[in-house]
Structure formats: C-alpha cells, structure tokens
C-alpha cells in the first residue's frame, strides 16, 4: 500500500521540522507532502531549508483547501491511502502502519485514530462536550458509533482520495465523517494517544470552539437531508 501523509501547515515554524523528521524516521516507507497554507512566519523557509516535499499556497485558504491540495496530489500520483497528519506534533507516526493495516483488513474507507475508543480516557471540557454531541448526532443520522469524531488523524482510502480531489464540498471535518459513514462506509477507529501541541498556538479558544461545534452539528444534520 502506497501511503501519503498530507501535512497542512499554517504558521508552524516552531515544530514543523521535528514533526516531519519524526514521521520520516518512524515510517520511512510513507511519503510526506507539506502544504504551506499561506503562512506569515517562516514555515515555507523550513520546508525549503530542510528540502521537504511541499506545496506552497500563496495565501491562507484554510484547512479544507490545504488538505484538498494534498488529495489532488495523491490522486494524480496514484496513492492507495492518505493520512491526515498535523504539523504541530500532536499526532504520533507510529500509528500510521496500524491504520494502514486496519484499512486493508476491514475494507474501510476511513480509519480514525481515536483517543477514547477503549474508554480509559473521556472527552472533557467544552471541546469534550461538543465531541460527545457530535458522536450522538453521527449515531443518530448514520447508526455508526464514532468515539472521537474530532480527531484530526484520519486515514482515507483510494475512493475517498478521489472524492476529496474531485468534489467541491468535502472537508476533513466531522460532518464528512458522518457522510462517509452513511454513504461510503465503513468508518472504523483504532485506539491512540496524542501529545500536546509541540509549538505555536492553537486557534481553538473557547469562542472558536463554540462556533466550530455549532457549525459542525448543524452541518451534520443538514447533510443528512441534502446529500
């Protein structure tokens, strides 16, 4: 299986080099594409200095466009799977082979690295409450039980690569998890742990969390009837 790790990066100069180095040393058979999403810091300089394989978007377009850039590349170069991998060092590359095996063994179209699958850790705080609500709505609209719908570490099959690369309204977000479970399933999970952000600053402050969760929940409900 040819796997491409797509690493969207926006102002991640503090941790990008270490993140990609860890990915390459742990998974030497996995290709990596860094998509610089119009960063205003030295992110693209890191890509060039370290001779990383990358795509440079001239302006900040957001996670969806950056990730779809990677999916278009994967489609054109015939990859069998794509793993969405954060530039901030939260995701552990050791789970990528586990996800690839799960994708092959189950015939799934999406594998999610879940922090909550075994029940030993539970989502908490405002983000946790939103995650539980999204889990409930996905179960309500699709029948699928997804324990960590907001996990940013997901692996997509060849069918999903084509869908993301050719459709205008696909985003690497929980509403797409719901759509995939309902129309393109199955969606499966593996148990995983994640690190704290290794540098930079997350945009998910309380106000943004509330907006994000509200928009996501509404989108899941609307997609149930519109797609």
> How confident is the model at residue 50, as a pLDDT?
95
Q: Is the dihedral of CA 159, 163, 165, 171 positive or negative?
A: negative
> How confident is the model at residue 219, as a pLDDT?
79
Whole domain around residue 21: which residue ranges? 3-226
**Starting at the edge strand that comes first in sequence, how are the strands of the sheet with 154-156 ordered?**
54-57, 31-37, 3-9, 81-84, 154-156, 110-114, 187-191
The first and second tokens of residue 197, run together, are 């952000």
Strand positions, DSSP E, 63-216? 81-84, 110-114, 154-156, 187-191
Name which of 190, 100, 173 is nearest 138 in CA terms.
173
User: Rounded distance, CA 62 to CA 111, Å?
Assistant: 23
40-50 exposure pattern, b = at least 16 Cβ within 10 A, e = fewer? eeebbebbeee
β partners of residue 113: 190
> How confident is the model at residue 150, as a pLDDT?
92
CATH of the domain at 141: 3.90.550.10
> How confident is the model at residue 130, as a pLDDT?
84
> How confident is the model at residue 129, as a pLDDT?
84
- The domain tally of the chain equals 1
User: Rounded distance, CA 87 to CA 35, Å?
Assistant: 10
> How confident is the model at residue 199, as a pLDDT?
63
Give the DSSP letter string of 116-143.
STTSSS---HHHHHHHHHHHHHHHHHH-
> How confident is the model at residue 1, as a pLDDT?
92
- The pTM score is 0.90
Q: What is the mean pLDDT of each run of 10 residues along the chain (227 residues)?
A: 97 95 97 97 96 96 95 98 96 98 96 94 79 91 93 96 92 91 92 80 60 78 67
């Amino acid at each position: 299986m040819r796997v491409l790790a797509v690493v969207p990066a926006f102002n991640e100069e503090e941790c990008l080099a270490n993140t990609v180095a860890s990915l390459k040393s742990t998974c030497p058979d996995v290709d990596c594409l860094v998509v610089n999403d119009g960063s205003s810091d030295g992110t693209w300089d890191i890509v060039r200095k370290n001779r990383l394989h990358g795509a440079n978007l001239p302006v900040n377009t957001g996670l969806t466009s950056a990730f779809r850039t990677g999916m278009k590349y994967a489609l054109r170069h015939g990859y069998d799977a794509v793993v969405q991998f954060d530039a901030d060092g939260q995701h552990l590359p050791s789970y990528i082979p586990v996800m690839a095996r799960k994708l092959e063994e189950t015939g799934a179209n999406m594998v999610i690295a879940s922090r909550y699958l075994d029940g030993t850790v539970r989502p908490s705080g405002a983000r946790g409450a939103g995650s539980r609500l999204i889990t409930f709505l996905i179960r309500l609209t699709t029948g699928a039980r997804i324990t960590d719908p907001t996990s940013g570490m997901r692996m997509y099959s060849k069918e999903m690569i084509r869908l993301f690369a050719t459709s205008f309204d696909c985003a690497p977000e929980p509403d797409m998890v719901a759509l995939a479970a309902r129309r393109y399933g199955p969606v499966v999970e593996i148990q995983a742990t994640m690190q704290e952000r290794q540098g930079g600053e997350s945009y998910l402050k309380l106000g943004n969390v509330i907006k994000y969760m509200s928009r996501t929940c509404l989108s899941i409900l609307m997609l149930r009837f519109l797609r």
